[in-house]
Amino acid sequence: MGALCIAMAPIFVRLADVGPSAAAFWRVALAAPVLLLLWLPRREPLSWSLIWPGIFFGGDLAVWHQAITMTSVANATLLPNLQPTFVAAVMVLWFKQRLRLQFWGGLALAMLGSVVLVGSSLNLGGDQLRGDALGVLTAVFYAAYLLSVARLRGAHSALAIMWVASGVAALILLPLALSTEATVMPQSLYGWLVLAGLAGLSHVCGQGLIAWSLAWLPTAFSAVTLLIQPVAAAGFAWLLLAEPLGAQQAFGGAVVLAGIFICRVFSAQRVSVKST
């Protein structure tokens, strides 16, 4: 459900009457006070380590929106979805978690499906190389975000992590929006409603559900599950924006789902949770 909610983010960004960097800022800036109000009744102690998800998420959005302007939309969609490979590598090399060979096979299948999904417009290298590098860096930032949230969920609630992360990310993104966008403030009530949808559905609900689930699901599997996002985004664009959805995209989406299913069957289970 979290992946489906964040899959709506490109639709809201497309409909917004502000630039993409400004939309990224408003996404977290509007969500932060809502998450804070939801968290306040808990009176939960905080720690300085909670700033790390915000730094990583702010970096993710900042770098991704720059990548969009420097490379193709297909590349900017595919390359950030390399994040499951980085998450799985860190889980094995740093946290010494053993992942079955079948899990790696499912991951490879899901990644292959993502390539097929955007393959008709994929163009790596050439003049777009810097943008492609930023797309890969986006994947690194989001992998770091997922790993930091997963580690913090043993001691902090999802609401605590989310409101602090949103506030920190907003502080990172505001200077970028002011320096790169001609229009930062929405120009109409419609513009504010679009940004409210981006903040409420894609961030509060989407990222909030993902943060909540990381207390129970294996981190590597959760990262692979988020590959549902480009599949769902293509479907939403077809339904809401009348963008074409052909047999290749449908086949790629089916391959992604098959890979995720294999990863689910052969992923390790989380056994204990300290905070909800």
Alpha helical stretches, state H, 119-153 = 129-152
pTM higher than 0.75: yes
| Orientation of helix 101-118 relative to helix 228-241, angle to 10° | 30
Name the one residue in this structure whose structure tokens are 């930032």: 141
Distance CA 13, CA 65 (A): 11
Q: Among positive and negative, which fits the CA dihedral 95, 164, 62, 52?
A: negative
Rounded Cα–Cα distance for residues 85 and 116 (Å)? 17
Render pLDDT for 124-141 as a digit per residue (tens, 0 to 9).
Answer: 555 567 777 888 899 999
Whole-angstrom Cα distance, residue 125 to residue 113?
Answer: 21
The residues near 229 (Cβ < 8 Å, ≥ 6 apart) are: 3, 4, 6, 7, 81
Q: What is the C-alpha to C-alpha distance for residues 97 and 114, in angstroms, rounded to an integer?
A: 25
> Which pLDDT tens digits describe the chain residue by residue (276 residues)?
998 898 888 888 888 899 889 999 999 999 999 999 999 998 889 999 999 999 999 999 988 877 776 766 566 667 788 888 899 889 888 877 788 888 888 888 888 887 777 665 555 555 567 777 888 899 999 999 999 999 999 899 999 999 999 999 999 999 999 998 888 999 999 999 999 999 999 999 999 999 999 988 888 888 888 888 777 777 777 777 676 667 777 788 788 888 888 887 776 544 444 455
pLDDT digits 0-9 by tens, 164-208: 999 999 999 999 999 988 889 999 999 999 999 999 999 999 999
